[in-house]
Amino acid sequence: MVGVVTATRKTPALRLVAWGSPPSLVDVGVPEPTGTEVLVRVEAAGICHSDLHVLDAAPGALPYRPPFTLGHEIAGHVAALGGEASGLAAGERVAVYGPWGCGTCRRCAVGEDNHCDLRAELSWSGAGLGRDGGMAGYVLVPHSRHLVPIGDLDVTQAAPLTDAGLTPYHAVAGLKLAEDASVVVIGVGGLGHVAIQILRAVTRARVFAVDVREDALDLAHRSGADRTLCTGAGTAAVLRRETGGADAVLDFVGGDPTLALGAEVLRPGGTLVIVGSGGGKLTIAKPGPLPQGASVSLPFWGSSRELREVIALARAGSIRVETEQFPLSAAEEAFTRLRDGHIRGRAVLLPD
Ligand code: FEH
Ligand code: ZN
Ligand code: ZN
């Protein structure tokens, strides 16, 4: 069931109109919510590297069907409710849980749409990922179960936390860390710097941050890393010496060199967590580059329950996203800066 688009109200939206084309800012009709749908007035929408992957995708590489509005990191307030929508009132300030699934399987039934059993059959991954997302004035959310109240939290924090916070939180939640654990964070960008704060907030691990950019290491330090290292020839040896072998490596890049580094510094029985979608390859073999007893995980986003926990951490002041804010009308500049690696933290678009 999709909302009925009214012919009267229009709103600017950043849309992928065809594979391989740059995103276009076009006026679209504001949909009216029906059934369980909720119309959200967007106040902030984060930009993710996955948005670049969508823009760069060859036709057929992703199951999505353009045209659709981009944006899967969304916060704003409830503008209107469908006749069967419940649990929220108009005006309530909300963050949007983005990985919308089928809505009927046992995973979706408990808010784990990120692991939807029918994902392979869907032509979308969520808001702004095959379905109309939040780089617009409004977004139509299929069900109120995807909306998390944010209370007085700033929307420019809540929006990026729906992915740049939720994804690392879910990745860390999957770890079993001893009190004296050492965790290496590779890549201190939009997700990595929040991961460091989450590790400080919910574990007692020593946090080692690695990046190729000095300003990223400065952000890592400000985010609470115990040690920061600029990637170089001797990085693995230094990390092995100072950690004694990492209990966990969180790779937010996911490229060949970072996967190799992660495998090199992991201790026996340690966990390599591949969060970044860099498409890097690592041989999983015995014997092979990974130590004995190692585990490898490829976490995807998180659950709506975990998003509530992330919002609670932010409201408690335990985590904060470094952001660079742009009006929606300057989206092209924001995307260019992200692509060139010049965004510190997370880029956030604000509807004009
Ligand atoms: C979204 C869609 C597909 C792959 C990865 C992602 C991430 O941005 C979600 O955290
Ligand atoms: Zn994302
Ligand atoms: Zn499902």
Atom 1 of ligand 1 has which residue's CA nearest to it? 50
Residues 78 and 10 in one domain: yes
pLDDT value, residue 1: 44
The reply to whether 209 and 282 lie within a common domain is: yes
Q: How many folded domains does the chain comprise?
A: 2
Read off the CATH number of the domain in which 278 is found.
Answer: 3.40.50.720
State whether 108 and 190 are in the same domain: no
Give the structural domain span for 63.
4-149+322-350
Is 157 a member of any domain? Answer: no
Which residue among 114, 119, 170, 300 has the greatest number of ligand 1 atoms within 8 angstroms of its CB, and so is best to mutate?
300
Mean pLDDT of 245-267: 98
- As a whole number of angstroms, the distance between CA 171 and CA 195 comes to 9
Residue 114 Cβ contacting ligand 1 at under 6 Å: no
Say if residue 182's pLDDT is above 70.
Answer: yes
Q: Do 142 and 9 lie in a common domain?
A: yes
Domain assignment of residue 308, yes or no: no
Mark whether 181 and 293 lie in a shared domain.
yes
Same domain, 280 and 177: yes
Q: How confident is the model at residue 8 (pLDDT cuts 50, 70, 90)?
A: confident
State yes or no: pLDDT of 7 exceeds 70.
Answer: no
pLDDT digits (tens, 9 = 90+) for 81-137: 999 999 999 999 999 999 999 999 999 999 999 999 999 999 999 999 999 999 999
pLDDT, tens digit, 9 for 90 and up, residues 131-161? 999 999 999 999 999 999 999 999 999 999 9
Scanning the structure block, which residue is given the tokens 């659709």?
A: 68
Point out the ligand 1 atom lying closest to the alpha carbon of residue 125. Answer: 2
Question: Which tokens in the block code for residue 319?
Answer: 């985590």
Contact indicator for 248, 270 with CB cutoff of 8 Å: yes
Query: Do residues 235 and 113 share a domain?
Result: no
Average pLDDT over residues 36-47: 98
User: In terms of domains, do 8 and 125 share one?
Assistant: yes
| Predicted TM-score (pTM) above 0.75 | yes
C-alpha 119 to ligand 3 mean position (Å):
7
Shared domain check, 229 and 99: no
- CATH assignment of the domain containing 83: 3.90.180.10
Q: Are residues 228 and 101 in the same domain?
A: no
Are 9 and 125 within one domain? yes
How far away, in angstroms, is 114 Cα from ligand 1 center?
9
Q: pLDDT value at position 188?
A: 96
pLDDT of residue 35: 98
